[in-house]
Amino acid sequence: MNLLFYVILSTQLYTSPLEPKVSKGFSEWLSTKSQDSKIKVWVFYTDKGIKEETEYKKALVKVEALLSPNVKKNRLVVRKPDMLCDFTDIPVYKPYMDELKTMGGNIRVTSKWLNASTVIIPVRLLSEIAKKPYVYKIEPVRTLQSSTGTYVSVKSGIDYGSSQKQLEQLNLIKAHNSGYTGSGVILGILDTGFEWRKNKILEGINVIAERDFIGGDDTTSYQENQIDSVWDGVNTVIYREESPYGQKQISHGTAMLSLLGGRASNRCIGAAFGASFALAKTELLWSTQEGFDYIAEEDWWIAGAEWLVDSVGASIISSSLGYRRWINPGQTPAYAFDSLDGKHYPLDICASQLWNKGVLLVTAMGNYYVSGPLAETADTSIVSPASADSILAVGGVDTLGNWVHMDNTTNPVTGSSIGPRGDGVMKPEVCGPWAGNYAMPEPFSYPDYDSIVDYNGRGTSDATALVAGVCACVKQAYPDWGPMKIREVIMKTASKAASPNDTLGYGIANAYAAINYENPEPPVLPLNRNRILMFSPAPYRISTGEKLLIHYQIINTSCPHLWIYTVSGKLIWDKSLGQKLMGIQKPEEWDGKTNNGERVSSGVYVCILTTTDVEDKDVKKFVVIK
């Protein structure tokens, strides 16, 4: 027999066991289990009990004789007549399986292609099985179970969790699946403060700038010892960043940021989670008179807007804030409804200029009160800067798309403010979900921030943040569009565009329809499935000593695994990558060696990406040369 053929045949008939046979990660997991508990594992074998060439040829003849006519016909399309069968067609060696049964294993499935069996076995016996010379390696059988052991179906695509309904109402999920997530867009937010570093819902968010206009520093998160001072029109008020109700200064802003940029699959996914965010802290959460604002907030808002526009370069601003009444009204009168025309008050004047600076402002219409000192009618409760020109003022709708109006005097906040504004111009421009599911730290979990809770919000604040996310996705699709074009298209594609009114404006924004209004710029790559993006360098020249970089993305937070096979199906290398957040990942390195440390030969190889989303994997080929 030809020596080269003998070497190839010997390699095919026998594969040396891995060391260790049980991976470190799997071993660590096993150490947490009771020794008597049973688990299901793959046991891979080193061979099929064939030692000589003559045995191998006899085995091939035997299995070929069992092929049906249709199988032979299919194989003749891709194989020569004298090579219809190969090693993968030979059955798994029965004595190996019999011994596992004798040891207490329950054989469930046997694969001749993999040369392996799935076995249900007590944990305490795995170390004994691993000692068997014919065992190549042992791996867990990957299943998806809940903590109670009941089956959980695997969703395809991003798992939106509690944020699914609010994003569906704006047709954002279809936009995301098409690759539009706000990527490449700078989205500014004006609010109370943001705990984005410690909040697990916001882990991985891209914050490029932040500024505290209340405290005068560059930290917008909660600062335990920070004491702010503010002029109320008569006196200087000392303000601690915690209200008497246990709410922290950062609560509202963190909630709005999660509606826009949440990145926790199965929990909270933001409307524009791919955007870059700039955060301006301009709003005091609490004042000495509930429902009233400090006049200082007016200039903090303006300073924040200018910073976002002139220093940061935001193209969209989301402001879930609104102003009408001020502390010490004798010194600082409330904004008069008749003068809310976009031209009288500093907030309106500033907001009305943003379009001319290339920025689209998305802001809240406000929530009206039916009782108490703030009681008013819905059609005279609009706040500034929703009354400004050339912006998107956002009202709120329920899950059925109806105006939110609750005739309930036990809850003073009873609905979404409606138009028109003081001079009769129609408001709002569009609407969004009044009830947004968002996440923020529990009020009493500071400073650990370990308790992350989903809340069901109420108000035009939520609607505003979500519609701002729509705008960011449209801006990604049309980077050359200015604010007025984006505004126009979002209004024209909303649900009531044919018959707008002062209650719903042009209706519920529709992200997908707006993106497809003309011919959008294609996204770099949709984040709609787990994907191997590329290999670099390509081809991979192994003699340079350089490592191959495997670029990949995952759509849900999970534990990805990379596998490299020969084109004949032999596994040569694999690696568990640990838990990763959703999105494009840091490239994984491969040194061109097998799991046994041997350098691979030139040729074509197959790389497979799998995750705990077992229905979603990606397969790509790459080339290795000397």
pLDDT tens per residue across span 377-396: 888 889 999 999 999 999 99
The CATH number of the structural domain formed by 164-515 is 3.40.50.200
Query: 528-626 has which CATH code?
Result: 2.60.40.2550
Tokens, residue 153? 């179906």
Looking up tokens 């526009």 gives 309
Task: Enter the pTM of the model.
Answer: 0.71
Contact 535, 548 (CB under 8 A): yes
Instruction: State the Cα torsion 612-24-598-113 to the nearest 10°.
Output: -50
Residue 430 has pLDDT above 90, yes or no: yes
Q: Residue 151: how many CB atoms within 10 A of its CB?
A: 9
Burial class (CB in 10 A: 0-12, 13-18, 19+), 602: middle
Q: What is the pLDDT of residues 532-551, one digit of tens each?
A: 999 999 999 998 989 999 99
Q: Return d(Cα 571, Cα 42) in angstroms, integer.
A: 14
Tell me which H or E stretch contains 39.
strand 38-45
148: helix, strand or coil: coil
Q: What is the DSSP letter of 123?
A: G
Cβ pair 358, 475 in contact under 8 A: no
Average pLDDT estimate for 390-412: 81
Supply the pLDDT for residue 146.
Answer: 28
Q: CB neighbours of 26 closer than 8 A, spacing ≥ 6?
A: 138, 139, 140
Find out whether the peptide bond into 20 is cis, omega within 30 degrees of 0: yes
Query: Positive or negative CA dihedral for 291, 292, 297, 302?
Result: positive
For residue 391, the model assigns a pLDDT of: 97
- Do residues 298 and 232 lie in contact, with contact meaning Cβ atoms separated by under 8 Å? no
Count CB-CB contacts under 10 A for residue 226.
18
Q: Name the CATH superfamily housing domain 1-141.
A: Peptidase S8 propeptide/proteinase inhibitor I9 (3.30.70.80)
Count other C-beta atoms under 10 Å from residue 20's C-beta.
Answer: 12
Domain locations in the chain as residue ranges: 1-141, 164-515, 528-626
pLDDT in tens, 65-114: 988 887 787 678 667 898 889 888 899 999 999 999 999 998 877 888 78
**How confident is the model over 139-197, as pLDDT tens digits?**
876 442 323 333 333 456 788 888 899 999 999 999 998 889 999 999 999 998 898 88
**Cα 166 to Cα 582: distance, rounded to the nearest angstrom:** 20
Structure tokens that stand for 177 in this block: 């699946």
CB 430 within 8 A of CB 507: yes
